[in-house]
Chain A
Amino acid sequence: MIHIVAALQCEARPLIQYYRMKGKASRGPFRIYEGDELRLIITGIGKLSAAAATAYMHSVYGYKQNCAWLNIGIAGHADKPVGEGTLIHKITDAGSGKSWYPPPLIKVPCLTDSLMTVDRAEYKFSTPDIYDMEASGFYAAACRFSTAEIIHCYKVISDNRIQPAQITSEHIVEQLISNNIMTVNEIISQLYRLHSRLHTIDSTPEDLERFFVSWRFSSYEKNHLRQLLKRLTVLLPDENIWNDSLARSSTGKEVLTYLQRRIDNLPVRFSHQQND
């Protein structure tokens, strides 16, 4: 699942149309749209709003860890041409001076650059960074819910020293995002790929609930069970774990011992494996 975070309705509109997303019916503090494997939230302007909306999105969809996150929006720069799209490789919060470094593992047909998140609209562009008002809030919040490799920001330049922000209309913003939709699409595809790879590593075993219903486990044992099942599922993908021997276990502890023994008894012999 990919969560898209945009500050303004006009930034989101081209994405909502392109991905045919529908507004979520339930009322809440932020407007949410849903599509196939995509959700989009409109945060309003500013890093606090971005952080709050990111956290809200996380809670609305069941506090699921390791969803991919993408912040899309417009930004300013001293002299980059209006319309240029950039993937962000460093985010600095101007207020706190704190920086984050989204790992540039995705390869997209656009430049990457540093970004400064400011509290008020920037007109001087005193550093060579891209300037926005949301990324640091978004990134700091999203990092609490996902691994950094699948959290990214993509910004389209909407203003510079020659074309200041005051003359950027909603219609122009919409046009700027629309013109970069193919790059956005490529970023989303690559985020999907990374997310799927992570999902195979990190997924919760399907049978877990059935175990919880059948036996009692302490919190520690539940974690241990999750680990053992995950390993058995990948080590013996075609084997049915639910057999008579397992059924004979009368306590959670016995279940864990049985599963551990299954792993320990696997013959250890290496053949050449594919490196990922």
Chain B
Amino acid sequence: MIETIYIEEEIEDHPRTGEICRRFPQARLIPCRHYGEIFNRKNQNFRLQKVQPALILAKKFKNFVLDAPAGYGIGGTCNYYFSHMLNCIYDCRYCFLQGMYRSANYVVFVNYEDFTDAIIKKINDNINCKSFFFSGYDCDSLALEPVTRFADNYLPIFRRYPDACIELRTKSTQIRSLLKIDPLPNCVIAFSFTPEEISNALEHGTPSIDKRLAAMVKLQKHGWKLGLRFDPLIYQDNYDEIYERLFNIIFSKIAAENLHSVSLGTLRFPETYFQNIIRLYPDERLFTGSFERKQGMRTYNSHIEQSMLQYCKTRLSHYVPAQILFPCEHAA
């Protein structure tokens, strides 16, 4: 799977570097001074690299925990995100990462202890406010779990601080580590979905909807709190039919009372990312149709956006109470 691993010289001897490298005994190991030498260089092609991304092991020095973008939340007062990894092993054509990063290589920051210290500090600094931490913003939280052991390393913090919450957002079925431990009441395992037609066309390399649901059912039985994410909602001319079908399938397997939250938002990109993605994928139908620019963002036109949001909100409210339904404010 991974043929090349770049390793920052500073973390060459970090125990986690060794653990990760041992999982890929055939990979070529290339030392580098700073991950930016590879990841941030100009003149790279994300699309070409996505065919065979390399892994970059690095150390993060600052900005471990950041404020979540406005409107990004599922009931918490203080919303933060952190990224132990940049980029995703999946290749979803609607993902903003392909427009944000120059490289498709995966960066894993191995100094987890610095992240967890920063999370604890943030919790202590905001003792009077319910802190919510999102981990799946710049990557899929669990997709590379056997390699990164992210959940194993980060969840114990939240067991110690039950007033703070964490969301692991994923499309993956890498849940073995979660089934080995007692569920945390302050942890939400949130699965992202699009209807099957859209998933087949746009979510390359992801587990099927059935497999994601099977993983959710196992987690549900084990007692984990679950989340559903319909973000982004993707338009096609019969969106009502295909989303209706998707909701039926999901709620035939997942008990609504086990859900912590359901969130939804329509497709949106910062304008510069949108232009980058179109340059990479001029042949992609997703970016045709009626898009418009709004405050530096590229979104579906207001009519489509509002119709889809309204339709999906109405349909979802048949299954779940309004208190756990969170439309993304930006798109609403």
A residues neighboring B (CB under 8 Å): 89-90, 99, 101, 103-105, 112, 114, 143-144, 146-150, 194, 197-198, 200-201, 227, 230-231, 234-235, 263-264, 266-273, 275-276
Contacts and interface: CB of A to CB of B under 8 A. Distances in A.
Contact of A149 (B45, B202, B234): B45
Most buried by B among A144, A147, A230, A271: A147
B127 interface: no
A73 to B, nearest CB: 21
Contacts of A268: 235-237, 285-286, 288-289
Given A89-B4, A112-B28, A266-B288, A275 B45 contact: no
B201 A272 contact: yes
Nearest to A113: B28
Contact of B37 (A101, A144, A149): A101
B158 interface: no
Contact of A105 (B38, B42, B51): B51
Nearest to A194: B48
A235 B236 contact: no
Most buried by B among A103, A144, A230, A231: A103
Interface of B: 3-4, 6, 28, 30-33, 37-38, 41-45, 47-49, 51-52, 54, 91, 197-198, 200-202, 204-205, 234-238, 278-283, 285-291
A248 to B, nearest CB: 23
Contact of A99 (B37, B54, B234, B286): B37
User: Which 8 residue pairs of A and B lie closest in terms of their CB atoms, listed nearest first?
Assistant: A270-B201, A275-B204, A234-B283, A272-B200, A268-B289, A147-B45, A149-B48, A266-B288
Contact of A101 (B6, B91, B236, B282): B6
Contacts, number: 111
A200 B45 CA distance: 13
A112 B262 CA distance: 48
A194 to B, nearest CB: 6
A233 B228 CA distance: 38
Given A198-B48, A267-B237, A146 B38 contact: no
A264 B38 contact: no
A266 B37 contact: no
22 contacts: A89-B28, A99-B37, A101-B38, A101-B41, A103-B54, A144-B43, A146-B43, A147-B44, A147-B48, A148-B43, A194-B48, A198-B45, A201-B281, A266-B285, A268-B235, A268-B288, A268-B289, A270-B197, A270-B198, A271-B201, A272-B197, A275-B204
Nearest to A266: B288
Nearest to A195: B48
B283 A101 contact: no
Contact of A275 (B3, B30, B205): B205
A147 to B, nearest CB: 4
Contacts of B41: 101, 143, 148
A99 B6 CA distance: 13
A103 B31 CA distance: 14
Contacts of A234: 282-283
A267 B285 CA distance: 9
Contacts of A149: 44-45, 48-49
B289 A266 contact: yes
B28 A269 contact: no
Given A104-B3, A231-B288, 10 more contacts: A90-B31, A99-B33, A105-B49, A114-B30, A147-B43, A149-B44, A271-B201, A273-B201, A276-B47, A276-B51
B235 A201 contact: no
Contacts of A264: 288-291
A104 B4 CA distance: 8
Contacts of A144: 43
A270 B204 contact: no
A231 B286 CA distance: 12
Contact of A235 (B42, B201, B288): B288
Contacts of B28: 89, 104, 112
Contacts of B288: 231, 235, 263-264, 266, 268
A230 B38 CA distance: 29
Contacts of B6: 101
Contacts of B43: 143-144, 146-148
A253 to B, nearest CB: 17
Nearest to B202: A270
B118 to A, nearest CB: 29
Contacts of B291: 264
A89 B33 CA distance: 15
Most buried by A among B3, B44, B288: B288
Contact of A270 (B31, B52, B236): B236
A101 B201 contact: no
A23 to B, nearest CB: 31
Contacts of A104: 3-4, 28, 54
Contact of B282 (A114, A197, A230, A269): A230
A99 B289 contact: no
A238 B139 CA distance: 38
Contacts of A90: 30-32
Given A268-B289, A270-B201, A270-B236, A103 B33 contact: no
Contacts of B33: 99
B48 A105 contact: yes
A273 B283 CA distance: 11
A90 to B, nearest CB: 5
Most buried by A among B37, B45, B236: B45
